């Protein structure tokens, strides 16, 4: 006779890192434990950064032993870490299967923003983005997504240990870390914690819907990272059916990767536009923010400026006209060059002229400061190491003569 507990013990270990409170409660109950244990375990994992069940001292010894046998808390493996001269930090992380993704931390005065990946590679092929040229392997699991936040928080000593001994040890580590990193952080004020998360790394988040939603819900859960819904942003190229579905399960902030004011040009830059054109995308975006409880929130429009492609004054006026009824701010992103593209970054004068048109039309349109480009961590430069099952990277390398 095979007991249920025997089946659990013989199964692969369950990674608790990516389980929401609801899913963790269900799992704990399947072990014959009380539901409130889920909240305790969540706090140990996400508040304290504890991966060893033996250290979770408010759990019973039998539960700690059982969890050690059947579960784990496992984040992606850090392959490398690079620190930019401007304070930006990039990690290359190995995930299940051997491929690697990249995560970037950008420190600014008053906040620290983490750019998180959602896929190994990207199934879309936007012409200005290096990630898309690497092809696509698979979606990341919820544990691999939230694991990026867990590792970044750990890197900057942002966990809040309960034990006095752990707290004292962390203070010593923090002092040592500050001394060793002071020279690389001169230009920015590091706040040593993740205060904002943007789903703008490798991949299209809405094409990995369930795992991304679970991970974002953990980011905003008070028993995990407790980030404000205004501080967790999902950026999409425009997967309209999934954007319509998002409003029912999340109230994160929304960014639209637009990059052109008309369908003809946008379809060249963002091929998914052929399936979900601009009008359809904007209508879906307006439905999303209309359904939020916070009536003051706006859509962030991302617009990568490419020299002589989408940066003319005529296109600036067209963009202003397109968005005149859309509550939004427009982030202007100067193109970041990479080897498989002939695109160029516009001159400062062309960027300023484009911005001026939008400002005069009443839009808030900041130019995003390029950060981390000396370590290939700037917007559109994330690559990782993708076991490409689409063979897209092979085709691009062959076409460019770089294979």
Q: Would you call 373 helix, strand, or coil by DSSP?
A: helix
Domain check: are 135 and 34 in the same one?
A: no
Domain check: are 13 and 145 in the same one?
A: no
Of all residues in the chain, what percent carry a pLDDT higher than 70? 81
Beta strand pairing status for 100-108 and 111-115?
A: antiparallel
pLDDT of residue 215: 98
The domain spanning residue 216 has which CATH number? 3.20.20.70
Task: Render the burial of 353-370: b for 16+ CB within 10 Å, e for the rest.
Answer: ebbebbeebebebeeeeb
Say yes or no to pLDDT of 123 above 60: yes
Contact (CB, 8 A) for 137 and 388: yes
pLDDT of residue 359: 98
Radius of gyration over every alpha carbon of the chain, rounded to an integer in angstroms: 22
Domain check: are 188 and 61 in the same one?
A: no
- 9-18, 278-287, 298-307: range with lowest mean pLDDT: 9-18
Domain check: are 43 and 184 in the same one?
A: no
Q: Among residues 100, 115, 252, 379, which one is catalytic?
A: 379
pLDDT of residue 191: 39
Contact (CB, 8 A) for 305 and 258: no
pTM: 0.86
Domain check: are 116 and 38 in the same one?
A: no
Is 102 annotated in the active site?
A: yes
Structure tokens at 378: 């700037």
**Which of 26, 48, 72 is the endpoint of a domain?**
72
Is 189 annotated in the active site?
A: no
Say yes or no to pLDDT of 175 above 70: no
Domain check: are 41 and 142 in the same one?
A: no
**Which of 72, 101, 131 is the endpoint of a domain?**
72
Say yes or no to pLDDT of 232 above 90: yes
Domain check: are 124 and 18 in the same one?
A: no
Count of domains forming the chain: 2
Domain check: are 43 and 111 in the same one?
A: no
pLDDT of residue 378: 55
Residue with tokens 């936007």: 126
Nearest-angstrom CA–CA distance, 387 and 138: 9
Domain check: are 109 and 64 in the same one?
A: no
pLDDT of residue 278: 98
Q: Of 374 and 98, which is predicted with more confidence? A: 98
Residue 113, phi then psi, degrees to nearest 5 = -105, 130
- 139-153, 182-196, 272-286: range with lowest mean pLDDT: 182-196
pLDDT of residue 129: 86
The domain spanning residue 55 has which CATH number? 1.10.150.530
Averaged pLDDT, 42-58? 96
Domain check: are 176 and 283 in the same one?
A: yes
Say yes or no to pLDDT of 65 above 70: yes
Query: Is the dihedral angle over the CA atoms 316, 319, 323, 328 positive or is it negative?
Result: negative
pLDDT of residue 185: 37
Query: Largest Cα–Cα distance of the chain, in whole Å?
Result: 77
Domain check: are 204 and 260 in the same one?
A: yes
Nearest-angstrom CA–CA distance, 174 and 158: 9
Residue with tokens 């996400």: 46
Phi-psi region for residue 210, left (φ > 0), alpha (ψ -120 to 50) or beta? Answer: alpha
Nearest-angstrom CA–CA distance, 131 and 145: 17
Q: Would you call 298 helix, strand, or coil by DSSP?
A: coil
Contacts of residue 381, Cβ cutoff 8 Å, sequence gap at least 6: 130, 336, 338, 373
- 118-122, 277-281, 382-386: range with lowest mean pLDDT: 382-386
Q: Among residues 21, 33, 102, 302, which one is catalytic?
A: 102
Domain check: are 81 and 64 in the same one?
A: no
Say yes or no to pLDDT of 103 above 90: yes
Contact (CB, 8 A) for 380 and 128: yes
pLDDT of residue 286: 98
The residue segments making up the domain with residue 51 are 4-72
Nearest-angstrom CA–CA distance, 263 and 200: 23
Q: How confident is the model at residue 341 (pLDDT cuts 50, 70, 90)?
A: confident
Residue 102: exposed, middle, or buried by beta-carbon count in 10 A (0-12, 13-18, 19+)? Answer: buried
**Which of 44, 72, 100 is the endpoint of a domain?**
72
Nearest-angstrom CA–CA distance, 181 and 97: 33
């Amino acid at each position: 006779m095979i007991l249920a507990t025997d089946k659990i013990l013989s199964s692969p270990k369950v990674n608790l890192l990516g389980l929401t409170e609801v899913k963790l409660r269900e799992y704990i109950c399947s072990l014959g434990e009380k539901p409130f244990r889920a909240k305790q375990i969540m706090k140990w994992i996400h508040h304290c950064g504890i991966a060893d069940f033996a250290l979770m001292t408010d759990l019973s010894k039998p539960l700690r032993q059982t969890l050690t046998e059947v579960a784990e808390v496992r984040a992606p493996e850090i392959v490398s870490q690079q620190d930019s001269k401007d304070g930006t930090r990039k990690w290359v992380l190995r995930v299940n299967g051997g491929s690697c993704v990249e995560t970037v931390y950008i420190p600014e005065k008053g906040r620290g923003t983490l750019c998180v990946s959602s896929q190994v590679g990207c199934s879309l092929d936007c012409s200005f983005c290096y990630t898309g040229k690497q092809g696509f392997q698979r979606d990341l699991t919820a544990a691999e997504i939230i694991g990026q936040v867990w590792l970044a928080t750990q890197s900057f000593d942002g966990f809040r240990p309960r034990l006095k001994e752990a707290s004292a040890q962390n203070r010593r580590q923090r002092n040592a870390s500050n001394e060793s990193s002071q020279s690389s952080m001169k230009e920015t004020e590091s706040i040593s914690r993740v205060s904002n998360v943007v789903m703008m790394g490798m991949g299209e988040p809405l094409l990995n819907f369930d795992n991304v939603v679970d991970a974002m819900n953990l980011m905003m859960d008070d028993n995990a990272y407790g980030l404000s819904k205004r501080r967790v942003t999902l950026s999409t190229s425009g997967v309209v059916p999934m954007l319509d579905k998002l409003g029912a399960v999340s109230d994160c902030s929304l960014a639209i990767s637009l990059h052109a004011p008309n369908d003809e040009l946008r379809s060249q830059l963002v091929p998914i536009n052929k399936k979900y054109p601009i009008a359809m995308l904007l209508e879906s975006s307006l439905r999303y923010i209309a359904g939020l409880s916070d009536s003051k929130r706006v859509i962030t429009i991302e617009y990568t400026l490419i020299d002589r492609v989408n940066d003319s004054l005529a296109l600036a006026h067209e963009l202003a006209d397109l968005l005149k009824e859309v509550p939004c701010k427009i982030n202007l992103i100067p193109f970041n060059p990479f080897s498989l593209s002939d695109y160029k970054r516009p001159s400062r004068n062309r960027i300023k002229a484009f911005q001026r048109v939008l400002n005069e039309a009443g839009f808030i349109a900041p130019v995003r400061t390029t950060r981390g480009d000396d370590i290939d961590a700037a917007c559109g430069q994330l690559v990782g190491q993708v076991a490409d099952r689409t063979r897209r990277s092979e085709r691009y390398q062959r076409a460019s003569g770089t294979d």
